[in-house]
Amino acid sequence: MSQEITGRTRLGCLLGTPVTHSLSPMMYNESFRLLGMDRVYLCFDTEHADLGAIVRSLRQIDVFGFNLTMPDKERILPFLDEIDPAAQMIGAVNTVKNEDGALIGYNTDGIGYMRSVREAGCAPSSCEMTLLGAGGAAASIAVHAALDGIPALHIVNRRGRSWEKALRLAETINQKTGCHADVTDMADAEAVHSCIAKSRLLTNATSIGMAPNEDATPIADPSWLHPELLVSDIIYNPRRTRLLREAEAQGCRCLNGLSMLLYQGAAAFHIWTGQDMPVEEVRRKYFQ
């Protein structure tokens, strides 16, 4: 089945910078083609653009929806008509649906992450978790992990500009979910080791280890990585970060960021269309 642009084709897009590396156009356009949907998805770099003006234009041309990547996940909030409760807790939106002219914001990063964790065999209710980082993706993972039943969450972050954000994130989780969240200084090696020792799920949601800095790792000592851990890295370039290589050497199960990317896209696709994205076909073509 070929995909043709018609006079009725509806547009969706990704906003942010940079966007040239994104797999989203291939993922969504292949899904539209497979399902015979008259839709198309493009990327627009917003580095030097007026986001408010862009959103007004997208509303006027009746796009079916759009995604946000950095730095627009928080910048988008004032331009939305409604925000999903989980996205409100996170304080960031990565998916917007145009519902009869009303722009409704969601955050699917954590939804996609938790689906990948469950598929890897980690039941949230039995997986005490250590989360490295407190940025946008980390916040989404933390909130959805808590909502999915993680009993205890140890947020590990550097003391710096995002330290207060980490404290606010833990406070929100403690107030609004049944999960107990705490915050640990990444520079406190003994405390970080203690968090990991208690956990069955370790997640790197920082950029440490991302290309071109592939020799970096957020863990000071790989011996902290015990075989009972599922070690997850949201980075997918490279596919096997130094953290994952060292975790494998310690006998840990490992998971890179490709599954999270695929499943957060599937969650957004369902929000926009009400249909399930053909995940396995997309995985075989773009996520191997």
Catalytic positions are 73
Burial grade of 51 (CB within 10 A; 0-12, 13-18, 19 or more): middle
- Give Cα separations from 192 to 155, 159, 184, 202, 274 (angstroms): 10, 14, 7, 11, 42
CB 255 within 8 A of CB 116: yes
CB 20 within 8 A of CB 36: no
DSSP code of residue 94: S
Rg of the chain over Cα atoms, rounded to whole angstroms, equals 19
Least Cα distance to 272 among 8, 11, 20 occurs for 11
Alpha-carbon distance of 169 to 93, in angstroms, equals 15
